[in-house]
Amino acid sequence: MDAVTPLNVAVVGMSYWGPNLARNFDRLEGSNLRWACDLDEGLLDQHRSGFPRTKFTTDLAEVLADPETDAVVIATPVPTHARLALQVIEAGKHVFVEKPLALTTADARAVAEAADAKGITCMVDHLLVLHPAVTKVKELVDSGHLGDVHYLYGNRLNLGIVRQDENALWSLGPHDISVMLHLVGQRAVEVSATGASYLQPGVEDVVFGHIKFESGVTGHLHLSWLDPHKMRRMTVIGSERMVVFDDMESERKITVYDKGPVPRTGEYGEYIQVRSGDIFSPKINGAEPLKLVCQHFLDCIRSGDAPIADAWAGLATVEVLEAMDKSLAENGRPITLEGAPA
């Protein structure tokens, strides 16, 4: 794949989120938005003038039959993701799938295996994993600046879009779960979740989830679209320092607290003392995460490198979501993930 010829990209699903992806692939250097596809002809008509160089169709088969199509972006409803991704892979095109990759671990694994077997670049839109603030937090974790990570927790709250076809866990959870898996860099071995449905029977608006990782690190999630606060925050507690990523802040996205317990000494061994030092906020590159994600997908197609959020990372997130959903249905019973050590 040469570095100059633009890659021809198709976006499938042009409702709410798809057009954001279409705009990025239309404008990024090195890509050309060749196709926009949706089952709804009326929806396509709304976008024709915005993308004058793009072809429009209601039939994915037409996109896949086009030898000029290099890559397909799937922004359709979640239950269709795995089936459409497999169709795209079968046609030999690279594929970018909206989060979550699938509704079941089995379907997510089928996509990951098919992509590997065909040598296809498959990326999942875990866009926060490429957020420059998360890249910084990952650096702080991996360099040991925080000490040993003890636990982390995410808050994703809003009085926001209330979806009818998926609960707050499936709608909001992929963001925090993918970031937690990325930051901790280990498998989740056990999860549990409780929640409640106040607006629609059987669709949880509020979910509290817990994750245990291999080394004993724990994670906690609070997800809700029924809350007075708009909060998008991840906090990581280390033995030496603590860090907060607050995506609602425009300038101070990350705050590092030089705070922690002081190791016990002989004389005062019976007390745990705490240390409270500097608080600082590193500068974070202001690049738009969705643009970085789209660029990363194009770069990976060109280089053949695995994307940072490849189908296997997508599978790991689906594993946690599926098990949390099971736990939700069983009043918070802890669920051991398949393959976890006994």
Ligand X SMILES: NC(=O)c1ccc[n+]([C@@H]2O[C@H](COP(=O)([O-])OP(=O)(O)OC[C@H]3O[C@@H](n4cnc5c(N)ncnc54)[C@H](O)[C@@H]3O)[C@@H](O)[C@H]2O)c1
Residues that bind ligand X (CB under 6 A): 12-13, 15-18, 37-40, 43, 60, 75-78, 80, 84, 98-99, 125, 127
Helices (H) and strands (E) in the chain, counts: 9, 15
- Rank residues 78 and 177 by Cβ distance to ligand X and give the closer one: 78
- Nearest-approach distance from CB 162 to ligand X, in angstroms: 12
**Is residue 44 classed as helix, strand or coil in its secondary structure?**
helix
- Rank residues 182 and 210 by Cβ distance to ligand X and give the closer one: 182
- Rank residues 241 and 319 by Cβ distance to ligand X and give the closer one: 319
- Nearest-approach distance from CB 57 to ligand X, in angstroms: 9
- Rank residues 80 and 186 by Cβ distance to ligand X and give the closer one: 80
- Nearest-approach distance from CB 169 to ligand X, in angstroms: 12
- Nearest-approach distance from CB 46 to ligand X, in angstroms: 11
- Rank residues 179 and 242 by Cβ distance to ligand X and give the closer one: 179
- Nearest-approach distance from CB 205 to ligand X, in angstroms: 17
d(CA 26, CA 323) in angstroms, rounded, equals 37
Cβ neighbours of residue 321 under 8 Å, at least 6 residues apart?
Answer: 100, 169, 170, 173, 174, 177
Q: Give the residue at shortest CB distance from ligand X.
A: 15
d(CA 205, CA 301) in angstroms, rounded, equals 38
Structure tokens at 195: 């929640």
DSSP output for 289-342: HHHHHHHHHHHHHHH-PPPTTBHHHHHHHHHHHHHHHHHHHTTT--EEPTT---
- Nearest-approach distance from CB 160 to ligand X, in angstroms: 11
- Rank residues 12 and 169 by Cβ distance to ligand X and give the closer one: 12
- Rank residues 166 and 258 by Cβ distance to ligand X and give the closer one: 166
- Nearest-approach distance from CB 25 to ligand X, in angstroms: 14
d(CA 105, CA 319) in angstroms, rounded, equals 5
> Hey, which bits of the chain come out as E strands?
7-12, 31-37, 55-57, 71-74, 94-97, 122-124, 149-157, 188-196, 206-213, 218-224, 231-238, 242-246, 254-262, 273-280, 335-336
